[in-house]
Amino acid sequence: MKAVQVVTLTGPADVEVREVDPPTPGPHDVLVEVHSVGVSFPDLLLSRGEYQFKPEPPFTLGVDFAGVVLDPGSPESSGFAVGQRVAGVNLSGGAAEQVANPAIFTFALPDAMSYDEGAALPMNYLTALFALEERGGLREGETVLVHGAAGGVGTATLQVAKGLGARTIAVVSTEEKAAFARAAGADEVVVGPDFKDAVKDLTGGRGVDVVLDVVGGDAFTDSLRCLAELGRILVVGFAAGQGIPQVKVNRLLLGNTDVRGVGWGAYAMTRPGYMQQQWHRLVPMIESGVVKPPVGATYDLTGFGQALVDMDERRTLGKSVVRVR
């Protein structure tokens, strides 16, 4: 079968589509015929050997995927049936014509979702739910500021926050991204790096309750200044590439504010059943229409490397998807 593989740790331009043996499912795996694969930031890091998970090349990329069950293993234990539509997530392996994935990391795909949308769901939306609920303690009626709001995690956060009853303010860098964030469900949008004063105006001087930050860099200090009393910054990533921000903790003391790390993968993958619980929280949001992943560019299997290059150069909107079939 065909699979997108990292052969040398020299970056996305050098990933290859290769012929490999089909996977052999383990006793707790589901064998899936893959239709679509999400393009994820961990894939980019994996192509350079910069991710915390460091498999030995050659290995297959693909964190998120969607497709059809070929072999459910034990239906009594997995809960799946042959022919069932599913989405799944793992550290790698999904960018192939077939994948054997643990049943606990595989989810029934609602009929309302296409395969492209299914491949855009797991990592970003489960990360957003973990960030807002577990780490952010988000309450109905609070206001969430989302950086990088036109990207995959950003759009997921806008929608999950709405599903949890929050008001959302998107921060983006261009008017094109502003339109995309609005279409994804943002209540308010601020364009440009000087967002602090605009956010204060939008909140009547109070500030926001939660900031979700996938960008880091220079925006971090102004995010601290945007917090209302008892506000929380959720640190998800550092896409700006400007290094790790520093926090003057006296500012936290004066405002009774928090900075909280968000490491969904390390938390969820070591707690069997946790991802399934999260998925059940998402399903009503999917059925109501508040969660509908905005798929940006689509590529064929040979375009996976280009999709990663486009992500690296910050040309992508929403979640890019590779169509396997």
Lookup: tokens for 159: 């929608």
User: Comparing C-alpha atoms, which of 101, 105, 77 is closest to residue 269?
Assistant: 105
What's the Rg (C-alpha) of the chain? 19
State residue 241's pLDDT score.
57
State residue 242's pLDDT score.
62
For the chain, 325 residues long, give each residue's pLDDT as a single digit of tens: 999 999 999 999 999 999 999 999 999 999 999 999 999 999 999 999 999 899 999 999 999 999 999 999 987 778 999 999 999 999 999 999 999 999 999 999 999 899 999 999 999 999 999 999 999 999 999 999 999 999 999 999 999 999 999 999 999 999 999 999 999 999 999 998 899 999 999 999 999 999 999 887 788 989 999 999 999 999 997 765 566 778 888 889 989 999 999 999 999 999 999 999 999 999 999 999 999 999 999 999 999 999 999 999 988 999 999 999 9
CB 286 within 8 A of CB 273: no
State residue 250's pLDDT score.
85
Give the side-chain half-sphere CA count within 13 A for 155. 25
CB 123 within 8 A of CB 156: no
Q: How far apart are CA 315 and CA 284, in angstroms?
A: 32
Tell me the CA distances in angstroms from 203 to 149, 167, 254, one per residue in order: 18, 10, 20
State residue 74's pLDDT score.
83
State residue 240's pLDDT score.
54
State the CB neighbour count (10 A cutoff) for residue 49.
14
Q: How far apart are CA 163 and CA 157, in angstroms?
A: 10
- Which residues have CB under 8 Å from 131's CB, separation 6+? 157, 212, 234, 236, 262, 264
Q: How far apart are CA 19 and CA 263, in angstroms?
A: 34
Lookup: tokens for 270: 């070591």
